[in-house]
Amino acid sequence: MSERAALVFEDRAYSRAELTALADGLAGTLARRGVREGERVALMSSNRPEFVIAVQALWRLGAVVVLLSPAWKRGEVEHALEITGPAHAVGDHRVLAGLMPMLHLDEPIEPGRGEKVSVDQDADAVLVFSSGTTGMPKAVRHTHASFAAAVRHWQNALGLTSRDRIQIATPPSHILGLLNIVTALETGAWLRLHRRFDLDRLLHHIELDRITVEMAVAPIALAIASHPKLESYDLSSLRYIMWGATPVTPSIAETVTRRTGVGWVPAYGASELPVIACNPLDGARLDSAGRPVPGVRVRVVSLETGETVGPGGTGEIEVRSESLMAGYLPAEATADALHDGWYRTGDVGSVDADGWVSLTDRSKEMIKVRAFQVAPAEVEAVLHTHPAVADCAVFGVPDGADGEAVVAAVRRAAPVDAAELVELVGGRLASYKRPRHVEFVTEIPRLPSGKVLRRLLKEQVLKERDGRTADS
């Protein structure tokens, strides 16, 4: 009887023993090319089984995996290489190959047999880049111990077992993609890896493969909710859909549940501490990121004084856990993020007396209108309830009278005028939260994680506004 498949890619299935043999074989090749324990190795790869094999091979050697996004351009890769200083490179991307000698993953990998190096659990295992919504991204250092703790937390939070079947279409270079892959393999769950995101293919394989847990970030959730033929797919095998990376948009989640009968499990994490909070699998709430997972402590500190606030008080979310990063590269960036063992998430929110975590927004993205603070996510949630709004993002621009003015960028699914959307927000929220301007755009720029690139949107709007002023 053949061994059960552990990973499936297109029409090719890999057993756990086969993945181990291929990782051993690649580890031998890398060792002959000079890769040594403790050295950093850049990995820039598309979604493919060889990515998984390469990570396992490098960890077998005790090397540090430096994950580079395949979506990056040359300047971004140069920045990443400069701050991490890898000695070797592996991948399938011409940008990396043009910058340093690279072992190409298209080269055949011969199975081998070897032994894992007994590595120091406090040594670095992986460098993954933070989302970088402002400025250039930083490299987040995770040790073998911190990443293993994150995997345990994720497995427990999602209730994953060897009976589960999941699929991954998000970039494995992102912390969530890597966490999902490693957790599935450690748990013994069946895993399908997709070359790229294609919604119809994703829905088709939920039905075909009887997927039990689906992972979604905001763009995927939005695409599912707006799919015209969603009801034609049999999604009954799903236990739930996990929503991560950004706060839940209730109207989108409710639309999917109404059309499919599948509920959501919101979760909350960061590259620096991958699993912070998660909803219960039964009785999940769309208005909360869940409760802190066992092993993670959460507190809220005042944005003004830095003092800890009581239950229900609003401030910056801070967390600590054995899954916390070891620090950043460049190292000088670490001091601003860590103090006394607590990680400053930059997220604004609250924790009630029962431990439920509510996220309001990013502290750096709060809009200050006169003496009031406006959370973009709150205004976006209202705009999303309008059937003509396909996607939206809210941000602030300088205003002489009020300090900042609220601006909404909206991608339309149907005709609607700005006044109607402004009135919608004004009818639901305080008057100072009403958008001063509504800009209709063809696209809302987002990172692969789903996070809106508000800085880029703001620059575009200001440039267009200045251009119109000059022409008038």
The pLDDT score that the predictor gives to residue 116 is 65
Banded pLDDT at 28 (limits 50, 70, 90): very high
Residues 390-416: what's their mean pLDDT? 88
Superfamily of domain 181-363: ANL, N-terminal domain (3.40.50.12780)
Predicted confidence (pLDDT) at residue 180 exceeds the cutoff of 60: yes
What is the helix (H) or strand (E) element at residue 398, kind and residue range? strand 389-399
> Of 57-66, 280-289, 446-455, which gets the smallest average pLDDT?
446-455
The pLDDT score that the predictor gives to residue 83 is 95
Predicted confidence (pLDDT) at residue 435 exceeds the cutoff of 90: yes
In the chain, residues under CATH classification 3.30.300.30 are: 366-471
Residues 239-244: what's their mean pLDDT? 94
Which phi and psi (to 5°) does residue 144 adopt?
-60, -40
Query: Using one digit for the tens of pLDDT, what is the confidence trace for 110-133?
Result: 999 877 668 899 999 999 988 544
CB 147 within 8 A of CB 129: no
What is the helix (H) or strand (E) element at residue 296, kind and residue range? strand 296-301
Predicted confidence (pLDDT) at residue 450 exceeds the cutoff of 80: no
Banded pLDDT at 1 (limits 50, 70, 90): very low
pTM (two decimals): 0.81
Give dist(CA 343, CA 331) in Å, integer.
15
> Of 222-231, 232-241, 399-408, which gets the smallest average pLDDT?
399-408
Residues 6+ apart with CB under 8 A from 189: 160, 161, 162, 163, 164, 165, 166, 183
Query: Using one digit for the tens of pLDDT, what is the confidence trace for 299-346?
Result: 999 988 889 999 999 999 999 999 999 999 999 989 989 988 999 998
Predicted confidence (pLDDT) at residue 449 exceeds the cutoff of 70: no
The pLDDT score that the predictor gives to residue 131 is 56
**Mean pLDDT over each residue of the chain, to the nearest integer:** 90
The pLDDT score that the predictor gives to residue 12 is 96
In the chain, residues under CATH classification 3.40.50.12780 are: 181-363
Predicted confidence (pLDDT) at residue 35 exceeds the cutoff of 50: yes
The pLDDT score that the predictor gives to residue 372 is 67
Predicted confidence (pLDDT) at residue 468 exceeds the cutoff of 70: no
The pLDDT score that the predictor gives to residue 136 is 59
The percentage of residues in the chain with a pLDDT greater than 70, rounded to a whole number, is 94
Give dist(CA 399, CA 91) in Å, integer.
47
Predicted confidence (pLDDT) at residue 466 exceeds the cutoff of 70: no
User: Which of 41-50, 65-74, 136-145 tops mean pLDDT?
Assistant: 41-50
Residues 96-105: what's their mean pLDDT? 98
Residues 215-228: what's their mean pLDDT? 88
Higher pLDDT pick, 188 / 73: 188
The pLDDT score that the predictor gives to residue 192 is 98
Tell me the CA end-to-end span of the chain in Å, nearest whole number: 77
The pLDDT score that the predictor gives to residue 153 is 98
With the C-alpha atoms ordered 144, 146, 147, 153, is the resulting torsion angle positive or negative? positive
The pLDDT score that the predictor gives to residue 401 is 66
Banded pLDDT at 53 (limits 50, 70, 90): very high
Residues 426-454: what's their mean pLDDT? 85
CATH topology of domain 366-471: GMP Synthetase; Chain A, domain 3 (3.30.300)
Residues 185-214: what's their mean pLDDT? 96
- For 223-257, give the DSSP string: HHHT-TTGGGS--TT-SEEEE-SS---HHHHHHHH
Spell out a b/e string for 337-367, using b for 16 or more CB atoms within 10 Å of the CB, else e. Answer: bbeeebbbbbbbbbbeeeebbbbbbbbebbb
Predicted confidence (pLDDT) at residue 152 exceeds the cutoff of 90: yes
The percentage of residues in the chain with a pLDDT greater than 90, rounded to a whole number, is 68
